[in-house]
């Protein structure tokens, strides 16, 4: 695991953007694992700036998102599919049929979860996986207590996570769905390179556990210690408890 302490979120965005740009430069049909939330936004801004400057062509990539809320209708502004299309894939010209998100509105969620895993496998697996970090140490929506070998499945969201994410639902925690469809920790471990970004004091405990704690389902991100190629990009505040 390499840990890089960055001056700010912009520098994180540039570094992670460089990783993706290099990969796509050598493999135009690379498979990108995308995360939502605020942490990856500077990465998407960096990638779009490269695309607009003519320095990067993302038109050949496929993307797989980590997670989605259960029960939000297609096109809901806080839905992760909407977010990823707005933040990156539509403006970057990635054809929508190659933009995959777990279908949180499916009638048969276990079948949809198994199908999502198969789609990832057929695409050849994820080359680089971007990740944020929950304040309770979750990655994707793998809340504390998640099996370290878990695959894509339905999870119940912790109250804390729903409170953290209420800002995307007009500040109303009751409007935040109670369940999600999320890649498992075992799924995430199969990505060939994982790039995790975290900023701010509120992430410091989770970041310290991730880098220095014992591997445990109590802090799901610690499972990344088992992965052979992880880059952790922190700002000073998020690194303050290392």
Taking every pair of Cα atoms in the chain, the longest distance, rounded to a whole number of angstroms, is: 45
CB of 205 to ligand GLP, least distance (A): 14
Q: What is the CA radius of gyration of the chain?
A: 16
Of residues 15 and 56, the one with the C-beta less far from ligand GLP? 15
Residue closer to ligand GLP (CB basis): 52 or 167: 167
As measured in angstroms, the least distance from the Cβ of 54 to ligand GLP is 29
User: Alpha-carbon distance 125 to 170, whole Å?
Assistant: 35
Active site residue 172: no
- Catalytic status, residue 68: no
Q: Which of 56/238 has CB closer to ligand GLP?
A: 238
Q: How far is the CB of 147 from ligand GLP (least distance, A)?
A: 17
Q: Which long-range contacts (CB under 8 A, 24 or more apart) does 205-212 make?
A: 205/135, 205/137, 205/241, 206/133, 206/134, 206/135, 206/136, 206/137, 207/133, 207/232, 207/234, 207/238, 207/239, 207/241, 207/242, 208/241, 208/242, 209/137, 210/133, 210/137, 211/1, 211/3, 211/242, 212/242
Q: Which position has the token pair 């297609």?
A: 74
Annotation says 86 is catalytic: no
Binding site for ligand GLP (CB under 6 A): 35-39, 66-67, 132-134, 140-141, 161, 165
Instruction: Name the active-site residue from 67, 83, 117, 235.
Output: 67
Catalytic residue among 46, 117, 143, 235: 143
Residues in CB range of 23: below 8 A, 6 or more apart: 30, 127, 128, 193
Residue 66 CB, shortest distance to ligand GLP, in Å, is 5
Q: Clarify whether 29 is annotated catalytic.
A: no
Catalytic residue among 138, 164, 209, 235: 138
> Which residue lies nearer to ligand GLP by CB, 8 or 29?
8
- Residue 237 CA to residue 221 CA, distance in Å, equals 18
Kindly state the smallest distance separating residue 193's Cβ from ligand GLP, in Å.
17
* Identified catalytic residue from 136, 164, 209, 235: 136
Which 3 state secondary structure label does DSSP give 205? helix
Please say which residue, 89 or 161, places its beta carbon nearer to ligand GLP.
Answer: 161
Cα–Cα distance, 209 to 219 (Å, whole number): 7
Please identify every residue annotated as catalytic: 67, 136, 138, 143
């Amino acid at each position: 695991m390499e840990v890089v302490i960055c001056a700010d979120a912009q520098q994180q965005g540039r570094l992670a953007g460089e990783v993706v740009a290099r990969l796509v430069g050598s493999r135009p049909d690379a498979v990108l694992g995308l995360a939502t939330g605020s942490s990856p936004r500077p990465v998407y801004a960096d990638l779009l700036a490269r695309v607009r400057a003519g320095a990067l062509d993302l038109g050949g990539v496929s993307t797989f998102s980590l997670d989605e809320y259960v029960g939000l209708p297609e096109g809901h502004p806080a839905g992760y599919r909407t977010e990823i299309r707005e933040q990156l894939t539509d403006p970057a010209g990635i054809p929508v049929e190659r933009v995959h998100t777990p279908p949180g509105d499916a009638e048969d969620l276990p079948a949809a979860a198994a199908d999502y895993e198969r789609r990832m496998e057929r695409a050849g697996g994820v080359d680089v996986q971007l990740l944020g970090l929950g304040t309770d140490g979750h990655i994707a929506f793998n809340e504390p207590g998640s099996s370290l070998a878990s695959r894509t499945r339905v999870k119940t969201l912790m109250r804390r996570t729903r409170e953290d994410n209420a800002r995307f639902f007009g500040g109303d925690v009751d409007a935040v769905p109670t369940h999600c469809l999320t890649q498992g920790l075992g799924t995430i471990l199969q990505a060939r390179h994982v790039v995790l970004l975290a900023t701010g004091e509120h992430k410091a405990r989770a970041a310290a556990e991730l880098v220095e704690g014992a591997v445990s389902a109590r802090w799901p991100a610690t499972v990344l210690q088992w992965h052979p190629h992880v880059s952790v990009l922190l700002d000073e505040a998020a690194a303050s408890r290392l």
